[in-house]
Structure 1
């Protein structure tokens, strides 16, 4: 219940009440919450107060709002640590999800200036270029565009693109993948990302660029991905350097 004599702001009390019901399983992912009007009448507060509580939870990624429909409990975010290099397929299997792909296109083409610079090749060198929607239990998680040095990674086909590329590279080509450098940026979904990821234009996404190297430091893969901000989060373990002053 809401205690109007409490020093805690009313919107915060409503926020915590909603959070408690979600944690207790009374409201599960996909469930629609009562309307702001119903909350306001139940607690005898203004709709603006209720809206503030809901917006706070939306910003935390615990709720999502659909225009013209209402407010819903958000799906739990998938968490990926930034230690160790794994493929999307390996990562989803480790979390108990069924990985999948929707291949938008696969082609052999000349490297763009951006891809050529990243892969340390010439602009007219051949690359495999593919765009895939990465799925977890058939739900879109990320839109991924990949460029691979075709002179280095031989025999790649559209069939391989529908599976784990890393498994093909390591198991069939007997090449050893060494490490990757990755950058993350926050952004909002454009029309294309929204359509392919089943989200709304303007929804939060994570833009991720990754350059992957073989063990001999040769770059072979350049990936640009848009991850759904409402379903994905990244974490990192940061031990303190014992030599720090």
Structure 2
């Protein structure tokens, strides 16, 4: 059996190794990157190749050059977001958990509504909602911001019989967020199922998330269920892969 060979350009391979070290915390935020000569020796390559690798990571905002000082790892490590933090309805009088969880991390959370409409959803959304080929759903599309920077692109779909004529179908923001409204309507979120994938961004995602370079994104496909396993919300959530990690803490039985 022939062994698989990494056919990527050497600069891309070096960038991939450094990227992994940064995301894993091996290269700590704010730390200085080894000199070009050290990286040349480590990878047995030319200075030009090392420069190409570092330029890629600067474009991705993982590294930053400081005049007269060298190249450094960005100051902030990738942030871990726990999906379970946003599932429960907000407490009475409290804002949407996106906002309250951001405040807990000393950040400012906000949302920008892009679109609210009755649409024919993507196939996997229709399947999750149990719709036929002609079925429609209410779409709420928004950008979640942290400190005024795009942090996620969210497309959430709701069953027509549940959402039509409610605030879910209204373009205005929902006080307390959709989990709170669904609970008030008699459909409390009971559990969610997530599928997580990594891929390159689409043109729309690149624009709305203001991505630097060709960074990967995290795609979370989420189905939220109420009582009796009724699907009440299906969400396609996209996050910049160089800024965020998904954190799951699951009990073992």
Which TM-score tier does this pair reach, normalised by the shorter chain? Answer: 0.5 to 0.7
Deviation at 1:121, TM superposition (A): 2.7
Q: CA deviation at 1:122?
A: 3.0
Structure 2 unaligned segments of length 5 or more: list them.
1-17, 66-70, 88-96
Task: Classify the secondary structure of the residue corresponding to 1:151.
Answer: helix
Determine if the alignment matches structure 1 residue 165 to structure 2 residue 182.
no
SS in structure 2 of the partner of residue 168 of structure 1 = helix
1:48–1:222 distance in 2 versus 1, CA, 3 Å: same
**CA 1:160–1:151: 2 relative to 1, 3 Å:** farther
| Unaligned segments of structure 1, at least 5 residues | 1-11, 28-32
Given that 1:79 and 1:234 are in contact with CA atoms closer than 8 Å, whether structure 2 keeps it comes out as yes
Structure with larger Rg: 1
TM-score (norm 1): 0.67
The 8 Å contact of residues 199 and 216 in structure 2, kept in 1 or not, is answered as yes
Alpha-carbon shift at residue 191 of structure 1 (Å): 2.3
Q: 1:238 to 1:51 in 2, by over 3 A?
A: farther
* TM-fit CA distance, 1:224: 0.8
Q: 1:134 aligns with which of 144, 160, 170?
A: 144
TM superposition shift of 1:108: 1.9
Do structure 1's residue 177 and structure 2's residue 177 form an aligned pair?
no
Aligned match of 2:47 = 47
The alpha-carbon deviation at position 150 of structure 1 amounts to 2.3
RMSD: 4.2
- Give the deviation of 1:109 after TM superposition: 2.9
Q: Is contact 1:54-1:63 (8 Å) kept?
A: no
**2: CA distance between counterparts of 1:104 and 1:63?**
28
Q: 1:52 to 1:168 in 2, by over 3 A?
A: same
| Mapped contact 1:101–1:162 kept (Cα < 8 A) | no
1:194 aligned residue (206, 215, 220): 206
**Aligned residue for 1:234?**
246
Q: Aligned residue for 2:4?
A: none
Change beyond 3 A, Cα 1:21–1:72: closer
Aligned length: 210
Q: Does 1:215 align with 2:223?
A: no
TM-score norm. by structure 2 comes to: 0.65
Structure 1 residues 88 and 123, CA gap change in structure 2 (3 angstroms): farther
